[in-house]
Structure 1
């Protein structure tokens, strides 16, 4: 049985074996593992196996903790050696099915995670490099939702949380690329199906006065609250308020652009005046030359200072978080880079609102799969027509401003449009339940192509022109009869007193169809393999059948619903196959059993005849 003493004894044995494997030796590591650690898994007892599995994990974690206390120069080689040894042990134990479960497949990632939790970001960056280089060995049989998948996701998310957006952007990018190459694009952990927003980034501001600029300042920075959490715009009529503030901001930026254009035009006039003075002409604004020279001297000094700090002409100033002081506000909105950043933020929010247009929501709803148990949740509100008009006007104005305040504005706006379009497609892809992006295999591709070709052939058959119907009335005889009386006045025929009004007697018809060998021995059901003669015989059989039933309805209508059949005859008929039943036998029974039954008799049973004259008229 498992107890504390046996655990301690086994732990000491395993720890000694691990230390032997970690020591420097000319003997290959796999030989040392087979000689020291592998024999510890030789027992077949389940209880002992469980004890040794837990003890082995405990010893590795203990050694990993000991390594994490070493200086960084000694830590990295020892950590790499321990992790490599664990991977080798897992591969060796995997050769034997009975020993495969002795060491957890995710143990190496667990040890790596625990070491990273105790180290600085500089050391973690080197440890992460080991993860990148040994990805194939570490991530064998990776499943995103269990085991290694969860440990790796937790490890990477913790590193991203610890890194700084301004100081560790390169490291953060490596982590993101590693995750995107490891997990499928449709993995739930990277899709954010719930539409959760990062509300940790809070913007604080306060105005020192109550004038009009202070109100604009407060409204301007209040937009960041809605930008960080767009869901708030759908509550308590906040959307109307946000759109009004955005309109004010865009109009204010447009005024600044207009002032900049006027100022630029004045400077151009001054330069033209200077050129005129050099050529002997007098400029009315030449007395401002000292101010201009001083300004140019200041600009040149700024450029020299930028070059000193290593800034190139294409350098774009980046601020991870702008200052919100009221004293700096007017200077900030005068900065083109600042205005450009704010305008792009507004475009992102406007595109989010465009996704709530009724037409777009209808398109998204059609793209959703009905079997999706966890679809992306759309906000519950929609945009009115007046709000749609305001949003589209702002959209065009902002792109126009971006083209005016940015050098090479056409290329910049085209890039922004492309990024927003890709974001829109990404969102639509999420709404459509994350369709797979993986390249399909060749057998699957062939199968899909065959199904596609089969569908094309079926479509061609369904869309080709059908052959005209040979007999428009269903049979040759009826069609001939119809065509022969097509142009005859039906009213005149009915009014003709000389035409025969009574059908022939049924007994005569019965004798006639018997002479015609009805029913045919080959049956009357048509078959594609029938010859022309067989088709003619069957067609004649159908005509005789219709003729007999048509005549029998005059005197034997009572038996059409349920023919009167004798008990022994009924049993005999039931034994025969359905296709061999003889309609003439039924008709013969009608004649033999009810020779006097007429349609008048059947009618008189249900309703009385008023007088003899009516009865005689009915017979006629």
Structure 2
């Protein structure tokens, strides 16, 4: 920078002053908007580019020196609230144009922005971020790799100056600018080494000495209260207190020989939620585990955390029930206002109750426990830590065996007992968060964020493989489009589809037309039963001559097929003859002509038919009236048969 020739620095300084003069003509009212472009300077940008083509490194140093001189003079003579400070924004626009055209160092703009943030108050930094938000897409579009580290460094330095309690919105603006500037798969803020924020120490008040003494006295009083309450209850009931005594073995030696046991005496006493003084140090000690979860790898620390979290959950449930009862009994007017108005007020209260760091004073502890937003904030912290513990179970660790980032993989394995406890407590917290009018929506939002965070943890354990895909080329897009059109188009049938018959014989005219062959009566005329007589006889003969069982079985199957077709055809006209067929044998009755069948009926008919036949063949005897009837004079007269 200092070795740049003075003449070159003076030339670039004069060029920048002419550019700023042109910018004042374009933006006479000053301000951040609108952004300046190359067309606003009428070829003056190209003149700077021609000067820097000879020796780029030397000219880059000269441009940087000239810009810094102008920048420092503007900072010394103008305040950021002054409208004339717009020349600084114009200078930044000029540097953005030069860096995009590669006429200067790409990161020069953010070097000056970083120095500007260091020289301004918090209110001035807000104005600087107004400029950065309005130019974000433009200043990060090109050469982002050379600018990324400077952007990250400047924003982190600003976040260290900001108070997350008083400047919450501004901190959000800085984070949003970073998220929108850096790509999704960038590793700059991933925390690959898995470091925890152990510097976040929660300081709370120690237990007062008088409270310790009072606690011991109270415990002694509680020991005697059991017998006193029983004696007082007996006196109120009009009974004398029991005077029974026992010896060392437990046998009664007093006047009474009978004892009565109540069921309530055998039952275990119910767990009662600890009071606020007892819960106070236990509750705030949980923050140490939240900021450094690896402390729970020690079994004693884990048991302490378990008891502390269970006591906190017990107290939260008790406070929730007390607030519900108090709300229904002491606020009747609020219930009459309507659900819609009440719900809107609750949502506004919850949305504005963000506190990144709660106060730990003992005097405020009761009020904080009564606040629903405070309880939810603590339970969400517990959910995050419980998910961390559940990721250390043997089943969960198998899913990360193939990962390469060993810094986020721990050798500690959660045993089965602690795993069941963590799963049970997580379900209890989920049920608690779902209570209330908007509880289900709140828990669904929290669960969605935690589920996505698990995916990020898995991605980090795999050493952050690239997740950004290259855009699809025009050739691949054209091929995909053609394939989609081909798949959706109407498909033509093949000349000979797979598995189909060859139908060329229908158009084969070598001998006769194929269609004429289909018209042959033999193809559609039902055969007679007599046509199967010969094939069945041939099969019987071949079955008797069969040499192997396989050949015999094939002939038997062929004969059964022909027999079945014969019986089916004969069933239409000769069903009365089926009684003469014995299991497929003696088929001669089916094959006899109809004439022989009628003759057999006449010969072998019934007795009535026989009498009718005799009547037709026997001559008639006729007795004349002229002569007396006598046996000797009977004349046989044969007449024609009676018809």
| TM score, norm. by length of structure 2 | 0.54
8 Å CA contact 1:353, 1:383 repeated in 2:
yes
The equivalent residue for 1:118 is 119
The equivalent residue for 2:462 is 432
> Matched residues in 1 for 2:479 and 2:378: separation?
48
8 Å CA contact 1:64, 1:115 repeated in 2:
no
| Cα distance, 1:393 vs structure 2 | 1.5
**Residues 351-370 of structure 1 aligned to structure 2 (within 5 Å):** 351-366=387-402, 368=403
> Matched residues in 2 for 1:391 and 1:382: separation?
13
CA spacing shift, 1:90–1:449, aligned 2, 3 Å: closer
Structure 2 unaligned residues grouped into runs of 5+: 27-39, 216-274, 485-643
| Cα distance, 1:149 vs structure 2 | 1.7
| Cα distance, 1:221 vs structure 2 | 0.3
> Matched residues in 2 for 1:173 and 1:313: separation?
21
The equivalent residue for 1:127 is 128
| SS of 2:120 mapped into structure 1 | coil
CA spacing shift, 1:259–1:71, aligned 2, 3 Å: closer
The equivalent residue for 1:245 is 308
8 Å CA contact 1:67, 1:79 repeated in 2:
yes
| SS of 1:59 mapped into structure 2 | helix
The equivalent residue for 1:336 is 372
8 Å CA contact 1:29, 1:85 repeated in 2:
no
The reply on whether 1:82 has 2:91 as its aligned counterpart is: yes
> Matched residues in 1 for 2:170 and 2:286: separation?
31
The reply on whether 1:150 has 2:149 as its aligned counterpart is: yes
**Residues 598-609 of structure 1 aligned to structure 2 (within 5 Å):** none
| Cα distance, 1:151 vs structure 2 | 1.3
| Cα distance, 1:205 vs structure 2 | 0.6
8 Å CA contact 1:375, 1:433 repeated in 2:
no
8 Å CA contact 1:30, 1:88 repeated in 2:
no
**Residues 179-578 of structure 1 aligned to structure 2 (within 5 Å):** 179-206=178-205, 207-208=207-208, 209-210=211-212, 211=215, 213-235=276-298, 237-260=300-323, 267=329, 314-316=348-350, 317-366=353-402, 368=403, 372=404, 374=405, 377-404=408-435, 406-438=436-468, 441-443=471-473
8 Å CA contact 2:204, 2:360 repeated in 1:
yes
1:551-598 residue CA offsets vs partner (Å, 9 max, x unmatched): xxxxxxxxxxxxxxxxxxxxxxxxxxxxxxxxxxxxxxxxxxxxxxxx
| Cα distance, 1:38 vs structure 2 | 4.6
| Cα distance, 1:189 vs structure 2 | 0.9
> Matched residues in 2 for 1:314 and 1:137: separation?
37
8 Å CA contact 2:100, 2:106 repeated in 1:
no
CA spacing shift, 1:331–1:337, aligned 2, 3 Å: same
The reply on whether 1:41 has 2:52 as its aligned counterpart is: yes
| Cα distance, 1:395 vs structure 2 | 1.1
CA spacing shift, 1:9–1:186, aligned 2, 3 Å: same
> Matched residues in 2 for 1:239 and 1:360: separation?
19
> Matched residues in 2 for 1:335 and 1:193: separation?
36
8 Å CA contact 2:100, 2:142 repeated in 1:
no
> Matched residues in 2 for 1:112 and 1:377: separation?
36
> Matched residues in 2 for 1:379 and 1:229: separation?
14
| Cα distance, 1:159 vs structure 2 | 2.9
8 Å CA contact 1:231, 1:379 repeated in 2:
no
The equivalent residue for 2:108 is 107
> Matched residues in 2 for 1:191 and 1:135: separation?
22
Q: How many residues align?
A: 395
> Matched residues in 1 for 2:298 and 2:69: separation?
53
Match of 1:58 among 58, 65, 81: 65
| Cα distance, 1:365 vs structure 2 | 1.9
The equivalent residue for 1:464 is none
1:474-517 residue CA offsets vs partner (Å, 9 max, x unmatched): xxxxxxxxxxxxxxxxxxxxxxxxxxxxxxxxxxxxxxxxxxxx
| Cα distance, 1:75 vs structure 2 | 5.8
| Cα distance, 1:222 vs structure 2 | 0.8
CA spacing shift, 1:250–1:18, aligned 2, 3 Å: same
1:356-376 residue CA offsets vs partner (Å, 9 max, x unmatched): 11111111223x2xxx5x555
8 Å CA contact 2:369, 2:375 repeated in 1:
yes
Structure 1 unaligned residues grouped into runs of 5+: 95-99, 268-291, 454-620
| Cα distance, 1:86 vs structure 2 | 2.0
| Cα distance, 1:378 vs structure 2 | 1.9
| TM score, norm. by length of structure 1 | 0.56
> Matched residues in 2 for 1:365 and 1:257: separation?
43
| Cα distance, 1:63 vs structure 2 | 1.7
CA spacing shift, 1:313–1:375, aligned 2, 3 Å: closer
What is the Cα-based RMSD across aligned positions, in Å? 3.7
| SS of 2:318 mapped into structure 1 | helix
> Matched residues in 2 for 1:262 and 1:16: separation?
78
Match of 1:68 among 72, 75, 85: 75
> Matched residues in 1 for 2:185 and 2:165: separation?
29
> Matched residues in 1 for 2:113 and 2:84: separation?
12
The equivalent residue for 1:20 is 18
> Matched residues in 1 for 2:446 and 2:51: separation?
62
